[in-house]
Structure 1
Amino acid sequence: MKMKKISRFSSFIHIQHMVFFEVSIGIIANLILLLFCVLIILLECRAKPADLTIGHLAFIHTMLLLNMVFIAMDIFGYQDLWDDITCTSVIYLSRLMRDLSVCTTCLLSVLQAITLSPRSSYLAQFKWKSLLQNPCYLLFLWVFNMIINGRMLISTVATPNVTSNSVMLLTTSCSLLPISSFLKYMFFSLMTFQHILFIGLMAVSSGYMVNLLCKHKRQSQNLHSTSLSPRASAEQRATWTILLLMSFFIVMYTLDCVIGSIFSILWNNDPFHHCVLLLVGNGYATVNPLVLISSERRMMRCLIFMWGKDSR
């Protein structure tokens, strides 16, 4: 029995290190990507319509991972500073950033589908409009998600000392108070509608991009030409990057939902399993900037441009 406790404690320490390592890598990568997007937009150094969305996604993931540090500290036993205001702020920001991540990822997929669409298609008319209206879309996503997550503002409290069946634990120190059935079903319906809508749009736009890439490949084979124009090849590389991120997002989103449902039933308040959920839940926010940075050739070109401009 004692050996089992020692082994479990050792596993818990290892998973703590894994959580903080993942969060640290994710924060650094997202800050680098965010800084790059800000410089690209401010300097107008070969900016693209998706740059603002990518920068927005990097900002959201940075905030999400920073917020996860507080939740991880709560799980690991640092519960002294938690009160109602702290719980409300941390839980609300966590839910808000997670939902904004879903919506912004969907917007990035749709923008790439518009960029890749041929001139003869219906989507071609949105190519220049998307660049101008992108900030409006992002503002709408913020307002929409702030309303949907309003429940967290009115019902999140520090976990009371007296246990109650009506209180649902969110973390070790934070709980969710019951609300009226009408508000409960209203918020649940809005959240379900949001996830179905945006993940559905993500799937449709990804399928559209795959179809366009397959058509382009068949046309290239029919023309017996292996060389593509630099513009076409750059757009295709960006499209494959977005498709890779969409696939990874769907996998991690599904794992998060399945594992979260199983753990909430079998191990509702087990710190070890909360850590596993943190690792899975933060996977996309950590991998996303690494994939985008590794596929971004403009980063080096922009640095060379800035260096040449300063040397004059």
Structure 2
Amino acid sequence: MISKDIALALFFLVQTVFGALGNSFLLGLYTITFFTGPRLRPIDLLLCHLVFVNDLVLLSKGIPQTMATLGLTNFLDDVGCKLVFYFHKVARDLSLCTTCLLSSFQAFTLSPRSSWWAKLIARATKYIVPLCFLCWTFHLLKNFVILLYVKGPKGRNNITEGQNFIYCTAAFPVSLYILLYVLIISLPDILCVGIMVGTSGYMVFVFHKHHQKVQYIHGNSLKPSGSPETRATKSVLLLVILFVSCNSLNSVLSLYIQYGKPSSWLVHLSPFLAACFPACSSFVVIVSDSQVRKYYLAFWKG
């Protein structure tokens, strides 16, 4: 019979491998299409950035978590722990930021052509790459504090107050400045989630109005046409729903782990839930976005 630790390691390994393969497939497809294939949509640049940072999330968390589950808890020193946690946190924040940009851009695309919002679409496409660089700069600076307080497993005996991450430890001093820092730094994340929820609600509202208009003009017998813009919007909506669902469940579980008495299964379930969006998002795009299939067919014929 397979032991509990081996079963957990297999779960993390399968999640990491399949997620990394899906993200790498999309990243390679977008890269090849950019140089040799048809012209990419502006939204594809954001999707390319999303799958790249999701790959970083999976590799920086899935591999160490798999090794730690098998009992290998001393494979990282202080420098390794600092770098792994730092880039994992930066990549997770960038995943949130990119998903927020995706939902915002698609909401602009769906806005009525007569609206002044539509005038921003042409300008917004020019600023996608600078916005991605701005997100990188902000989150690299924001998470710099991780490099100060995360330590390797050998330093856990010297930590009186901290959090144990199995293969690394973190000791954040409880002070007014740290609490103020956490509050200020958490505001952009809360703002991004609020924007995603708001833009998703707006897109659903636009779809509902369009559906009612089509039914009024043509009757109930006609099904709404699945234009590329509509399919792209549905793909973004699925990504937002997946992101909010996985991270909401993980946030509730993390609070319980922090203040309750969780079992070892729940402790391992938290990083598994945190990696669900990076692991599944690429397959959501592959299945729901027909443009990906067109890029693949163009590459295959080419």
- Common fold, TM-score beyond 0.5? yes
1:289 counterpart letter in structure 2: S
- Say whether 1:171 aligns with 2:165: yes
Report if the CA contact (8 A) 2:74-2:167 is conserved.
no
| CA displacement, residues 41-77 of structure 1 (integer Å, 9 cap, x when unaligned) | 2336141111111000000010110111123323432
How far the C-alpha of 1:187 sits from its partner, in A, is 2.8
User: Is residue 103–residue 198 contact of structure 1 (8 Å, CA) maintained in 2?
Assistant: yes
Change (3 A) 1:304 1:25: closer
Asked if residue 81 in structure 1 is aligned to residue 75 in structure 2, the reply is yes
Amino acid at match of 2:290: R
Match of 1:97 among 76, 91, 96: 91
Matched, 1:14 2:28: no
- Aligned residue among 216, 223, 235 for 1:241: 235
Inter-CA distance 256–42: structure 2 relative to 1 (3 Å threshold): same
Is 1:261 the counterpart of 2:255? The answer is: yes
Matching residue of 1:118: 112
Does structure 1 retain, via aligned residues, the 8 Å contact 2:156–2:169? no
Matched, 1:144 2:135: no
Q: Which of 206, 223, 246 is matched with 2:200 structurally?
A: 206
Q: Identity across aligned pairs (percent)?
A: 26
Corresponding position of 1:3: none
The SS at the match of 2:210 is helix
- Quote the Cα distance in structure 2 between the aligned partners of 1:146 and 1:254: 24
- TM-score, normalising length: structure 2: 0.90
1:223 aligns with 2:217: yes
Secondary structure of 1:162 counterpart = helix
1:128–1:40 CA distance, 2 compared to 1 (3 A): farther
Q: Distance in 1 between matches of 2:156 and 2:172?
A: 17
Q: Which moved more, 1:47-56 or 1:115-124?
A: 115-124
- 1:27 aligned residue: 20
Match of 1:49 among 42, 50, 53: 42
Given candidates 80, 104, 109, the residue that maps to 2:103 is 109
Other-structure match for 1:132: 126
1:268-287 correspondence runs (5 A) = 271-287=264-280
1:181 deviates by 2.9
Deviations 1:218-249 (A, max 9, x none): 111121163666xx722111111211221121
Q: Which sections of structure 2, spanning at least 5 residues, go unmatched?
A: none
Alignment TM-score, normalising by the size of structure 1: 0.88
The Cα offsets for residues 257-303 of structure 1, whole Å up to 9 and x where unpaired, read as 001111222347x6533321122111111111001011232333334
- RMSD between aligned residues: 2.2
Contact kept, 8 Å, 1:151 with 1:187, in 2: the verdict is no
Equivalents in 2 of 1:128, 1:101: separation in Å?
Answer: 24
**Structure 1 pair 211–240 and aligned structure 2 pair: CA distance change class (3 A):** same
Deviation at 1:191, TM superposition (A): 2.7
Which residue identity does 1:296 align to in structure 2?
A: D
After TM superposition, give the deviation of residue 161 of structure 1 in Å: 5.1
Do the aligned partners of 1:113 and 1:208 also contact (CA within 8 Å) in 2? yes
Contact 1:118 1:124 in 2 (8 A): yes
Give the direction of change, closer, same or farther, for the CA distance of 1:170–1:140 in structure 2 (3 Å limit): farther
Residues 94 and 103 (structure 1), Cα distance of their counterparts in 2 relative to 1, 3 Å cut: same
Q: Which moved more, 1:95-104 or 1:77-86?
A: 77-86
Residue 180 of structure 1: how far off its partner (Å): 7.4
Would you say 1:292 and 2:280 are equivalent positions?
no
Q: Is the 2:253–2:270 contact (alpha carbons within 8 Å) kept by the matching residues of 1?
A: yes
SS in 1 for 2:73: coil
1:34 offset after TM fit, Å? 0.9
- 83-92 or 141-150, larger mean C-alpha shift: 141-150
* Structure 2 contact 108–121 (Cα < 8 Å) conserved: yes
Count of residue correspondences:
298
Equivalent-residue separation in structure 1 for 2:7 and 2:299 (angstroms): 43
CA distance in 2: counterparts of 1:170 and 1:93, whole angstroms? 18
CA distance in 2 between counterparts of 1:238 and 1:245 reads 11
Aligned-pair CA distance for 1:183: 4.2
Q: Contact between 2:23 and 2:282, CA under 8 Å: does it hold in 1?
A: yes
Runs of at least 5 residues in structure 1 that lack an aligned partner in the other structure = 1-5
In 1, Cα distance between equivalents of 2:228 and 2:165: 44
